[in-house]
Structure 1
Amino acid sequence: MSQRSLPADIDATLALLGEGRYVADRALATAIFLALKLGRPLFLEGEAGVGKTEIAKVLSQTLGRDLVRLQCYEGLDVAAAVYEWNYARQMLEIRLAEAAHEGDKNKIAADIFSERFLIKRPLLQALEPNPKGPPVLLIDELDRTDEPFEAFLLEILSDFQVTIPEIGVVKAAEPPLVIITSNRTREIHDAIKRRCFYYWVDYPSAARELEILRTKVPAAERDLAEEIVAFVQRLRARELFKLPGVAETIDWADALLQLNQTSLSAEMVDNSLGALLKYQDDIAKIRGSEAAKILDEIKLEIAAGRVQAARQA
């Protein structure tokens, strides 16, 4: 796909996301538009599974840009995130120079610390010129790293550059489109947030989640889709260790389709809860009488809604 220009307004941003089958509300589209327009990183915070990472993927796809992804984890350092030297090749080069009796140590040092021995990791890759245009840089789950790594990111997020002691400053000719996500397992330092446009990605309303499900799992019967969304919405009002995200809603719908279901039943809910809930304590709390109670409530609610709609029509 050829590179496209950035959206000109909020409506164009909504249309762009729609092309990538991402159902966003206007507030989220506004945040994305402003971050792109102002050239600032977009910091997306929210519970796991609400669609934060998907935004970067969709922007990469619809804008025709490469996606450079840095998956964060505890202990992430510069060598894994930015660059490291190819020590094996450097040692081989030194031994070859010695064998050839090339004794100019300064020349050898300058040669082995040149770009051809540099292993470029995601953050450095994102600063390089790209024929497709500046890439989408996804820094995923920043909350999994530690504070020293956050401090290192400040130079990149402020000036879109990194300093390599042996080479000097590497600066992006055109800044990448930066998306940072956090599941808020810990607070991210204010210095990072000040450099970004911030947006909290919440669980969707029932109407928007139904639209998402119809977009992502179009083969699902409308009755089944409505029941799935209503059931999940009820679960999010319960005190569970991990509430199901939109990703789990889609997974559950896919699983039920594989079981040839056109409507929810108490037995099928009990047997497939593992696609929706990921902790045994949560499954045990919902399975059985609680699931049957929720199912009865939503079926009555959906039936009443249809009766009211028919009367209004």
Structure 2
Amino acid sequence: MTDSLPRDVAATRQLLAEGGYIADGALATAVHLALHMGRPLFLEGEPGTGKTEIAKVLAARLGRRLVRLQCYDGLDLNAAAYEWDHARQLMAIRLAEASGEAADRAALERGLYDRRFLQERPLLSALGGSPAVLLIDELDRADEPFEAFLLEILADNQITVPELGTIRAEVPPVVVITSNRTREVHDAIRRRCLYHWVDYPDAARERLILDTRAPGLAATLSAEVVAFVQRLRAGGEWFKLPGVAETIDWARALAALDAGRLEPGVVDDTLGVLLKYQDDIGRLRGAEAERLIAEARQDALA
């Protein structure tokens, strides 16, 4: 593992593959350009398409720290970037009073806003220390005003702390932002990033992913699982389509049950691994599952 960057798109694709991530040409190109241009990479797409995994693989293969900011409703600057350690500041004041140093109030106030009292949160942590991959995960879950906090770090790899000054990264982090598009992310964020839509993989790539993440799976079972999931995504109105992670989990579950291929009974009994909502499971179980199994077998043979 090394922090040296891959020299071209093919090398970037190989680097991702070595980490167990099978990327298509367009995604590998977006990752390669983000690394070499020093630009944040904004990945948007349906849940379960592998957006978060890209940051994890890049951190592992480039030998960098993974710093993850998981976004949520109500996320603010204190939780995302930094916070002053008020307890330690109060203790410093009391120690100064006890020692008689509190008379010089200007010096005391300056000392209270020293870097040693600053508690680092993910955004600030990614700017210091060893080189990092900063993952800002599911930005669409955060409140829209929070996006304004990110503009400085995305554009200039720095954070301004009013009481302390500007803190710049000696080694800029590799920044990956993900969104499931539950709401639109502001244009100001998009303009500072390279953009890529991460879609569900086609059958050939999903089969490669399955071979990589679930090695030893029977060839017939692997082919039928992928064909079944592809058919499921292509037809019908489902509350939540299965992502690649669900495909892998389902294949592993079927293998653990010693299934050599898809059979109606075992498919019905394991739908909770593939689908996460009872309405979807109820619609698929039975005749609909049997129809998809038959079509999947034909696709697998073809």
TM-score, normalised on structure 1? 0.93
Q: Deviations over 1:30-63 (max 9, x none)?
A: 1111111111000000000100000001111111
* Counterpart secondary structure, 1:45: strand
Structure 1 unmatched ranges of 5 or more = 306-313
| Aligned with 2:148 (options 125, 148, 151) | 151
Helix, strand or coil for the counterpart of 2:205? helix
The answer to whether the aligner puts 1:105 opposite 2:102 as a matched pair is no
Q: State how many pairs are aligned.
A: 300
3-state SS in 1 of match to 2:140 = helix
Matched, 1:181 2:193: no
Which sits farther off after the overlay, 175-184 or 99-108?
99-108
Q: What is the CA-CA distance between 1:239 and the residue it aligns to?
A: 1.1
Paired residue for 1:95? 94
Matches within 5 A, 1:152-167: 152-167=149-164
Report the counterpart of residue 207 of structure 1 in structure 2. Answer: 204
Which residue of structure 2 aligns with residue 253 of structure 1?
A: 251
Query: What is aligned with 2:114?
Result: 114
Which residue of structure 2 aligns with residue 264 of structure 1? Answer: 262
Residue of structure 1 in register with 2:27 after alignment: 28
Residue in 1 aligned with 2:136?
Answer: 139
Return 93-102 or 149-158, whichever deviates more: 93-102
Q: Alignment partner for residue 189 of structure 2, among 179, 192, 198?
A: 192
Match of 2:5 in 1: 6
Of residues 283, 286, 308, the one that matches 2:284 is 286
Instruction: Please report how far the alpha carbon of residue 165 of structure 1 lies from its aligned counterpart in structure 2 after TM superposition.
Output: 0.9
Aligned to 1:308: none
Q: Give the partner amino acid of 1:82.
A: A
Alpha-carbon shift at residue 78 of structure 1 (Å): 0.5
- Deviation per CA, 1:248-294: give whole Å up to 9, x if none: 10111121122222211101111100111111111111011100111
Q: Distance in 2 between matches of 1:302 and 1:114?
A: 64
SS of equivalent residue, structure 1 residue 236: helix
**Equivalents in 2 of 1:113, 1:224: separation in Å?**
62
Q: Deviations over 1:117-174 (max 9, x none)?
A: 11100100111142xxx31111000000112110111111111111101100011122
Aligned partners of 1:222, 1:46: CA distance in 2, in Å? Answer: 29
**Kindly, what percent of the aligned residue pairs are identical?**
62
Q: What is the aligned partner in structure 1 of residue 218 from structure 2? A: 221
- The answer as to whether partners of 2:238 and 2:280 remain within 8 angstroms in 1 is yes
1:76 aligned to 2:86? Answer: no
Partners of 1:171 and 1:274 lie apart in 2 by 47
The answer to whether 1:58 aligns with 2:73 is no
Aligned residue for 2:185, secondary structure, equals: coil
1:236 match: 233
2: distance between equivalents of 1:186 and 1:219?
Answer: 40
TM-score (norm 2): 0.97
| Residue of structure 1 in register with 2:39 after alignment | 40
**More displaced stretch, 101-110 vs 270-279:** 101-110
1:256 counterpart letter in structure 2: L
1:165 is matched by which residue type in structure 2? P
Q: Give the Cα–Cα distance (whole angstroms) in 1 for the partners of residues 299 and 133 of structure 2.
A: 43
Q: Distance in 2 between matches of 1:245 and 1:301?
A: 20
